[in-house]
Amino acid sequence: MWVGCNDKPETEAEGMPNIIFVLADDLGYGDISAYNPTGKIYTPNIDRLAAGGMRFTDAHTSSSVCTPTRYGILTGRYNWRSTLKQGVLTGRSNALIPNTRSTVASILKKRGYQTAFIGKWHLGWDWAQTDTLEAGEGWNPEDFDNIDFSKPITNNPNDLGFDYAYGHSGSLDMAPYVYVENGQVTAIPTVSTVNTGEYSWWREGPTAPDFIHDQVTPNFFDRAIGYVKEQSNTAKPFFLYLPLPSPHTPILPLKEWQGKSNLNPYGDFMVMIDHYMGVLMQTLDEAGVSNNTLVIFTSDNGCSPAANIEQMKELGHLPNGQFRGHKADIYEGGHRVPFIVRWPGKVKAGRISDEVVSLNDLMATVSAISGYELKDDEGEDSYNILPVLEGHTLNEPLREATVHHSINGSFAIRKGEWKLAMCPGSGGWSFPRPGKDQTVLDTLPKMQLFNVKTDPQETQNLLDSNSEKASVLKELLTQYIQNGRSTPGIAQTNDGTAHWRQLWWMDEN
């Protein structure tokens, strides 16, 4: 078991740090024991990662679902500025990020980094087709009938700055179930598989012989560990983007981890992930590169109902901590996530920050670290958190404000302790849910104003008593949308020509 940094003398070459960004999938704020010491899931290795660096208590994803958050991480741009205004992509979807847009990987590559993606992509790429007929979106098995798996994939991660790319296209419950390495499928699918277990389900679709669902997470960790060992023997610094497909469904802890959490299969899956994080950190120690490696561990959104949240609550575990809602929601449980940074050469151990940060801030931060100056059309919503990591006292908050987004495209804006949600309910999957609970929603105010400092559970809508505060926040959100950016700089243009039905308040101005 990994126990922390080794005591060997520094062996790293002077210069820019290695960077490893580990993105868990559907892991909640309360699923790490450093964040939730009274919870039922024990994560000693991730806890040691936090103890050796900085733990953020107020970190947020750009969206409360998978694809949009990943877009924000790699581009430093709010997801709703892309052509995807709501929902997520499938394993069949075409590329969301155009090759002309800068990414974290392309910027670091310019600065001399070796760059690698290993894991779940879920940002679309363009499959070769046997004909030009329009296929389905990717929710049904017949939607993959005209894919030619023998031909190269275009507009893939290699085209966005990654020297090496290995992973699968969508979530682990989304077909096709094939690995793609540097634009080429590693094995042609020969069968169609489906699973219907309560926790272990996946949709029916083509499956390659080398794609075994319960081995996908271990496979990604093993390849990441191999990459670290290989790159640690070279002169160039490396950037490793490791987006895990877990603990998202299918929830598939290996046999040796089953029952280890004394909670449910989701808890067991978390224990397994923690183990592999320990192995990864131990690899850095053994390679002698720990002190000059920046490691970030976080999640793409809150815990999903697929993990059986209500059952875990009954057993005394709150996967999203004290916060209201869960994955897909505009409420805090949808987008407030663990965010842990360890960089022994720069970040003092054992620190906790209450600064509001976003996963979008990765681009501006690595740009500052590597000495790259962002252009006006790069990282339009990304803030440099390096001053916070280095322990500097800030005269004002790092971010002027932060925008949140739910699965149905609902917006919220947070400034200081105030959060204005531009919808009457969750905007997602919890009560009151759009469509499902419409009778209730029709009786509620169109907006919700919360003080998340005094009311972190978001139980009191303070709109009537603080209408001026709401107006200021609404005006700032409108400005961010219209300017195409939320950081200082020349105004930019959002992608997509269709009017967003979620921007009803702008029509009223």
Distance separating alpha carbons of residues 349 and 193, to the nearest angstrom: 46
pLDDT value of residue 502? 73
pLDDT value of residue 135? 81
Say how far residue 2 (Cα) sits from the centre of its chain: 25
Crossing angle for the helix pair 66-75 and 362-370, to the nearest 10 degrees: 20
**Which residues does residue 402 pair with via DSSP β-bridges, in sequence order?**
414
Distance separating alpha carbons of residues 164 and 145, to the nearest angstrom: 28
C-alpha atoms less than 13 angstroms from C-alpha of 99 in its C-beta half-sphere: 9
Residues 6 or more apart from 380 whose CB is under 8 A from it?
A: 76, 77, 78, 81, 484, 485, 486, 487, 489, 492
pLDDT value of residue 500? 61
Cα angle 108-110-115, degrees, rounded to a multiple of 5: 45
Report which secondary-structure segment, H or E, holds 407: none
Other C-beta atoms lying within 10 Å of the C-beta of residue 263? 22
pLDDT value of residue 507? 72
Cα 117 to Cα 121, 181, 492: the distances in Å are 8, 10, 28
Distance separating alpha carbons of residues 400 and 395, to the nearest angstrom: 12
Distance separating alpha carbons of residues 340 and 296, to the nearest angstrom: 6
- Residues of the chain where predicted confidence (pLDDT) is lower than 70: 1-14, 498-501, 508-509
Contact assessment for residue 134 and residue 181, using Cβ atoms and an 8 Å cutoff: no
pLDDT value of residue 505? 83
pLDDT value of residue 132? 82
Burial level of 489, CB count in 10 A (0-12/13-18/19+)?
A: middle
Structure tokens at 129: 């087709």
pTM for the full predicted model: 0.96
Domains within the chain, CATH numbers bracketed: 18-389 (3.40.720.10), 402-508 (3.30.1120.10)
Per DSSP, 234 falls in state S
For 193-236, how does the pLDDT look when each residue is reduced to its tens digit (9 = 90+)? 999 999 999 999 999 999 999 999 999 999 999 999 999 999 99
Other C-beta atoms lying within 10 Å of the C-beta of residue 443? 8
For 65-86, how does the pLDDT look when each residue is reduced to its tens digit (9 = 90+)? 999 999 999 999 999 999 999 9
Per DSSP, 154 falls in state B
Cα 429 to Cα 79, 303, 304, 326: the distances in Å are 19, 12, 9, 8
pLDDT-above-90 percentage for the chain: 92
pLDDT value of residue 499? 59
Structure tokens at 24: 């868990």
